[in-house]
Amino acid sequence: MAATVALTPRLRADDIFFPAMGLLILSVVVLGFWQSYFSAGMLRAKLPNTLLHIHGALYVSWVFFVTVQPWLIAVGRVKWHIRLGALGVILPPLMVVLGIFVVFDYIRRDDGSGIPAQLLMVGDFAELALFVGLTSWGLLVRRHAASHKRLMILGTMAILGPAIARWPIPFNPLVIIGTQLALPLLVVLYDLYSSRRVHRSTMVAYAIMVVGLLTAFPVSSLGFWQPVVAWIHHS
């Protein structure tokens, strides 16, 4: 029976699709940060400060983690997948804390990118909230493989905004958010292909992503954020 189950088309499809999603995420990040980080030697890259080096190391570690984990399942290394899974608990809280500090640092440095500080802060905070919320949900349901793998991929897609913003194309916030919302549709299409319906975890997670990312624009225009930005500048 076990051999029969292992050969079902759905499992073979999962073993192709989710590793491919990990590679897609890695490609998005490498494309965005190739010139400033990867080709510059990563730890040897000339970043503005040590905080950004730590931040970069944590985020790249997570991206490699999300890339490797589906491959371990695909090749039958379940025990390795479980052991490496400890990073899934350790890294997200550190990434969120460092991410907040990096946003504050970016606003203080004000490098003339033209992005309103309020939009930058609200957008990045929304991404961090989506990331930690969806991946935490994914970890809580790790015994339900179908939900777990979808939520870990979708949660990681939620924080791809900074990488997409650095693609070699004209900067446009709408293009960034549009791309972030387009990537998860690949999971939706896969669900329809593999089971003729959208998995509940995919549907709920995508709805949360749409609301979280699209509300960043109106929320950032609230007067509440102006004194916050002023406080960051003077702190």
- Return the higher-pLDDT residue of 2 and 132: 132
Between CA 102 and CA 54 the distance in angstroms is 10
What pLDDT score was predicted for residue 4?
Answer: 40
**Residues found in the chain:** 235
What confidence score (pLDDT) does residue 8 get?
44
**When comparing pLDDT for 233 and 52, which is higher?**
52
pLDDT at 1: 36
For the residues 78-91, what does the mean pLDDT come to? 92
pLDDT of residue 114: 67
Host H or E run for residue 29: helix 9-33
Mean per-residue pLDDT, 64-82: 94
* Res 3: pLDDT: 41
- Contacts of residue 92, Cβ cutoff 8 Å, sequence gap at least 6: 62, 131, 132, 135, 136
For residue 7, pLDDT beyond 70: no
Residue predicted with more confidence, 66 or 232 = 66
> Percentage of the chain surpassing pLDDT 70?
94
Give the number of other CB atoms < 10 A from CB of residue 69.
Answer: 25
Judged against a pLDDT cut of 90, whether residue 100 lies above it is answered with: yes
pLDDT at 10 over 70: no
Please tell me the distance from the alpha carbon of residue 59 to that of residue 66, in angstroms, as a whole number.
11
